[in-house]
Structures are given as C-alpha cells and as structure tokens.
C-alpha cells in the first residue's frame, strides 16, 4: 500500500501521479454530473469505464429503483454496458479502468473481479457513504490487498468533498435510501 504525500489517497501499488491526476479529473467530472442523474430518479452513484487511450467505453448511474433491480449499482451497470459494447464477458484483454464517485460495495467488488477490469479509482470511501446516507456498503476487509494479488490496482479516496455534498443533499432532499429488510 502506498499513500500520497499531498492527499489522503491510498493505493495498492506505488502511487503514479499521472494516473492519480487523470483519475482526479474524471472523478471530478462524474461528481459534477451526478446531480443530473439523481434528478432523473437514479441512486447517488456514478461509474465510468475508460480504455488505456482515455476513450470512454461505458458510463452509468445506479438504477436500482427506476429499473427495480437490486444488482443495478453504477459499477455493475457500467460493466454490463462495456461487455455488451465489446461483445465479451471478459474485459481483461482491454486494459480498462473504472472510475466511480464512491467506493464500490461488496457486490460491486465481486462484479469488478469477475469482469476483468484492471484498475479502480473511487471517490467517497464506504465508511463515509454509510455515515452520510445509511446505505449498507457491506463487509470487505482487505479488498485492496486481495485486488493487488489479482493484478487489479485500486486508488482512493479521490476528491471527496464535492461528492460528500451530493450524498448529503441526496439525503436532505428526501431521496430514497434503500436497504433490504426495511419497510
């Protein structure tokens, strides 16, 4: 694990400043766009997948509520779109990176592992998502280490203040926070 001198970012490889700068730019854009998706009825999370040349392959928000499917987290949707576009269930030959406004939950970590995505860059850490919103992000001890073992790099948290504000607004504006087993 390495830590960035100038921020709270942690990575499971030696931090590459160019990759971090690029990820910060993309995550900042996603954070800016996210409120538009929330206005359309999406959950407060947005994920994008880019190839190594910086070309956008897929982007999606969380559509659990509007599509009525508990799998439809932003990351899972983006993976589904990328696999459809590239006509494959194995994204590993494409050297793809995922950028997401909040740390992936336990389901999405599994989804990312099975997809062949090579790098993950995330915004708000799960503890903060849970504290701010009440969404249960799950248990996932040591996932950075496990991803490293599988050749998947992870950087985060990146540029969180704006997205924490989006999450706070999501709650204060009375949008739904769903968890299984709740009425």
79 binds Zn ion (CB under 5 A): no
Task: Return the closest-CA partner of residue 164 out of 44, 11, 75.
Answer: 44
Cα 138 to its chain centre, rounded Å, is: 14
118 binds Zn ion (CB under 5 A): no
100 binds Zn ion (CB under 5 A): no
The pair of structure tokens assigned to 68 is 């009525």
108 binds Zn ion (CB under 5 A): yes
Which stretches of the chain are assigned E, i.e. beta strand?
Answer: 2-3, 10-11, 43-50, 56-62, 97-102, 119-124, 153-156
Phi, psi torsion values for 21, nearest 5 degrees = -65, -45
73 binds Zn ion (CB under 5 A): yes
75 assigned to active site: yes
- Of positions 105, 144, 158, 166, contacts Zn ion by CB under 5 A: 105
Residue number, 63 or 97, with CB nearest to Zn ion = 63
Residue number, 104 or 116, with CB nearest to Zn ion = 104
> Residue 53 CB, nearest distance to Zn ion (Å)?
27
Please say whether the beta carbons of 78 and 101 come within 8 A.
no
Residue number, 35 or 110, with CB nearest to Zn ion = 110
* CA triple 70-115-150, angle to 5 deg: 120
120 binds Zn ion (CB under 5 A): no
> Residue 120 CB, nearest distance to Zn ion (Å)?
12
Q: Which residues are catalytic?
A: 75
Question: Could you list the residues that contact Zn ion (CB under 5 A)?
Answer: 73, 105, 107-108
């Amino acid at each position: 694990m390495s830590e960035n001198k100038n921020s709270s970012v942690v990575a499971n490889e030696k931090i590459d400043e160019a990759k971090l700068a690029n990820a910060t730019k993309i995550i900042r854009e996603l954070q800016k766009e996210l409120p538009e998706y929330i206005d359309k009825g999406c959950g407060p999370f947005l994920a994008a997948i880019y190839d190594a040349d910086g070309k956008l392959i897929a982007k999606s928000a969380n559509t659990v509520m509007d599509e009525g499917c508990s799998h439809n987290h932003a990351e899972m949707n983006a993976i589904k779109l990328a696999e459809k576009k590239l006509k494959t269930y194995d994204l590993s030959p494409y050297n793809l990176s995922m950028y997401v406004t909040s740390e992936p939950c336990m389901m999405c970590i599994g989804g990312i592992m099975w997809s062949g995505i090579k790098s993950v860059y995330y915004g708000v850490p799960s503890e903060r998502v849970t504290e701010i919103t009440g969404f249960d992000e799950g248990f996932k001890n040591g996932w950075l280490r496990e991803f490293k073992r599988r050749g998947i790099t992870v950087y985060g948290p990146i540029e969180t203040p704006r997205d924490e504000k989006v999450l706070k607004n999501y709650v204060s504006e009375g949008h739904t926070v769903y968890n299984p087993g709740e009425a």
